[in-house]
């Protein structure tokens, strides 16, 4: 039963991936501007254009072109960036670590802030701290990451300038690493100054990304915590003499976590999507910033590669969430 549900899920994923490919291919092909003309330097002859067109299969019918394109993409060939004259796959993989680190940091912050809000709200339920948490949740849910980023820039960049408002790392700092995972590799190699500087740059964009999700986590987790606090086992823990905070943190939290975990899984993709504009806002050198740069320069192969990578990331994360949820929730496993 489990195997069958996994297989049907995988088929659905394959259909979605194919659909994504069709949408991206169509969009790029209807975009104004001849992609071949953009690849050539100005002053290229008609024969040059014809030769390149034949090379990329542009002289064939659209469905045939789609098959040629799909084959190349499946082999990891996303074409060459028009502006930077480098393979798109290389450029994209170079920037991916920066975006992943930012997204993971934001996730961490969201869980910490949301979890804290939920515990405080549940501990002081019905009193003013819970009202405060509810108010924060209301604002956090209605204001998107873009606006949080701008507000943070005003607060911690201008009014009380304690954090960096642009870039990923101080350009004066020599980065001597073999991967672009600055934090992870920096920690492993013990380069504390580098890690510290990267964190100082990352904190504001990560916080901006995390606040909407933190609000959602606080809301959902507080709700499930409060439901648990009426049950017998928490009463028993109180009778055993545990303080209310202990009851919440070490008894109720584990049983209340499942709905929040599902929520985090689903919302993590939206958080990754948010990196696009937040990176731009903070001039953070990740994929999203590169995507907007590519659109401004009309570098279609590069945009296409980034969009495909983001879509793939979304689909894989959603699949992983679905599968783990199936494993975590016995009712679904046997259902």
Partner 1 sequence: MVDISAPRAVVRAPNLRLWVPLCWLTLVGIAAVFAPWIAPHDPLAQDLMLGRLPPAWIAGSEPGYWLGTDDLGRDVLSRLIYGARIALIVAATAALLAGLVGSGLGLLAGFFGGWWDKCISRLVEIWMAFPPVLFAVLLVAVLGTGLGSVIAAIALIDWTRFVRVVRAETLVQARMDYIDSAVIGGASKLSVLRHEVLPNVLPAIIALLSLEMGIAVIVEAILSFVNLSLSSDAPTWGGMIAEGRASIYFAWWVLTFPLLTLFLTVLSFSQLGEGLKRHFDPVQT
Judged by the rule CB under 8 A, the positions of this chain that interact with partner 1 are 12, 15-16, 19-20, 23, 27-28, 30-32, 138-139, 141-144, 146-147, 150-151, 153-154, 157-158, 165, 269, 272-274, 276-277, 280-281, 288, 291-292, 295-296, 298, 300, 303, 306-307, 310-311, 314-315
Q: Are 317 and 273 in contact (CB under 8 A)?
A: no
Q: In this structure, what is the dihedral angle of CA atoms 135, 140, 142, 148, given to the nearest 10 degrees? A: 130
The radius of gyration of the chain's CA atoms, rounded to the nearest angstrom, is 24
Question: d(Cα 268, Cα 275) in Å, to the nearest integer?
Answer: 11
By beta-carbon proximity to partner 1, the closer residue of 115 and 212 is 212
Orientation angle between helical segments 300-328 and 88-123, nearest 10 degrees: 40
By beta-carbon proximity to partner 1, the closer residue of 32 and 43 is 32
By beta-carbon proximity to partner 1, the closer residue of 29 and 238 is 29
Shortest Å distance, C-beta 9 to partner 1: 12
Q: Which two tokens stand for residue 155?
A: 């607060």
Q: Which two tokens stand for residue 56?
A: 């990329």
Shortest Å distance, C-beta 288 to partner 1: 7
Shortest Å distance, C-beta 58 to partner 1: 18
Exposure of 289 by Cβ count < 10 A (0-12 exposed, 13-18 middle, 19+ buried)? buried
Shortest Å distance, C-beta 61 to partner 1: 21
Terminal-residue alpha carbon distance, the chain: 8
By beta-carbon proximity to partner 1, the closer residue of 239 and 296 is 296
Shortest Å distance, C-beta 158 to partner 1: 6
By beta-carbon proximity to partner 1, the closer residue of 10 and 55 is 10
């Amino acid at each position: 039963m489990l195997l069958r549900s996994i297989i049907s899920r995988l088929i659905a994923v394959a259909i979605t991936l194919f659909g994504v490919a069709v949408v991206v291919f169509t969009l790029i092909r209807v975009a104004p501007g001849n992609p071949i003309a953009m690849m050539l330097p100005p002053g290229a002859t008609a024969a040059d254009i014809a030769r390149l067109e034949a090379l990329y299969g542009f002289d064939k019918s659209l469905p045939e072109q789609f098959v040629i394109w799909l084959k190349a993409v499946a082999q990891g060939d996303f074409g060459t960036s028009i502006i930077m004259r480098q393979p798109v796959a290389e450029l994209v993989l170079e920037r991916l670590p920066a975006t992943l680190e930012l997204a993971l940091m934001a996730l961490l912050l969201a869980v910490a802030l949301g979890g804290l809000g939920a515990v405080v709200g549940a501990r002081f339920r019905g009193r003013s701290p819970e009202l405060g948490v509810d108010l924060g949740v209301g604002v956090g849910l209605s204001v998107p990451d873009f606006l949080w980023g701008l507000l943070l820039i005003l607060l911690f960049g201008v009014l009380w300038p304690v954090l960096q408002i642009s870039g990923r790392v101080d350009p004066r700092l020599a980065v001597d690493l073999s991967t672009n995972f600055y934090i992870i590799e920096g920690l492993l190699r013990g380069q504390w100054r580098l890690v510290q500087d990267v964190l100082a740059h990352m904190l504001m964009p990560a916080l901006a990304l995390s606040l909407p999700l933190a609000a959602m986590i606080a809301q959902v987790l507080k709700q499930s915590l409060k439901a648990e606090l009426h049950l017998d086992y928490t009463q028993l823990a109180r009778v055993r003499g545990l303080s209310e905070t202990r009851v919440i943190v070490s008894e109720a939290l584990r049983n209340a976590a499942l709905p929040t975990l599902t929520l985090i899984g689903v919302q993590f993709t939206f958080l990754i999507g948010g990196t696009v504009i937040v990176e731009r806002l903070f001039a953070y050198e990740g994929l999203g910033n590169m995507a907007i740069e590519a659109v401004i320069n009309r570098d279609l192969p590069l945009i296409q590669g980034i969009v495909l990578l983001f879509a793939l990331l979304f689909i894989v994360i959603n699949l992983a969430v679905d599968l783990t949820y199936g494993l975590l929730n016995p009712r679904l496993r046997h259902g």
